[in-house]
Amino acid sequence: MKTMEVLAVLIIIGAITLVGNLVGANIPMIDAIPGMIFLIAISIIGVICAKVIPVKIPAVAYVVTIGCIVTIPGFPGATIFNAWAQKVNFLALTTPILAYAGISIGKDLGMLKKTGWRILIVSCIVFIGTYIGSTIIAQLILKLIGEI
């Protein structure tokens, strides 16, 4: 995965997101551009970190970590960074991702047929199991520490 190729993809996705951000969240493109450039910059720095640092950590981990550190209250520029990022709506970012994912899922539909209905039911059950299991514990502990 070449860094320049990643940058090209990020710019394409960024542009599509800005359109969605305008249509869905009513945020003018001109207002959201600094935030988008900021997010692209974080992503690219993360990708470069994963390349340069010899420890085997995936790029997404660096990306999240960098995004987190530069917006922690008190970090130089955190207030501005945070204000930029807020202009890019979270849901607007998800729409193009799922459009690409949806198109790519088409090729897995054949495999799905071979899987069988019993596995499909078990899949639904395990999704519910992990979700409800975690929710119940989280709810109890949050109550216990008085957060909710």
Quote the distance between the C-alpha of residue 27 and its chain's center: 19
> Half-sphere exposure of 41 toward its Cβ, with a 13 Å CA cutoff?
10
Using the minimum distance from each CB to another protein, give the nearer residue, 30 or 132.
Answer: 132
Using the minimum distance from each CB to another protein, give the nearer residue, 56 or 118.
Answer: 118
Q: How far is the CB of 143 from another protein (least distance, A)?
A: 8
Task: Determine the Cα–Cα distance for residues 78 and 71; give it in Å rounded to an integer.
Answer: 4
Q: How far is the CB of 31 from another protein (least distance, A)?
A: 16
Task: Determine the Cα–Cα distance for residues 76 and 84; give it in Å rounded to an integer.
Answer: 14
61 contacts 35 by C-beta, under 8 angstroms: no
The structure tokens 């990708």 sit at: 47
Using the minimum distance from each CB to another protein, give the nearer residue, 53 or 97.
Answer: 97
Using the minimum distance from each CB to another protein, give the nearer residue, 30 or 115.
Answer: 115
Using the minimum distance from each CB to another protein, give the nearer residue, 30 or 128.
Answer: 128
Q: How far is the CB of 77 from another protein (least distance, A)?
A: 12
Q: How far is the CB of 146 from another protein (least distance, A)?
A: 10
Q: How far is the CB of 54 from another protein (least distance, A)?
A: 20
CA dihedral in degrees (58, 63, 69, 70; nearest 10)?
160
- Farthest-apart Cα atoms in the chain, separation: 55
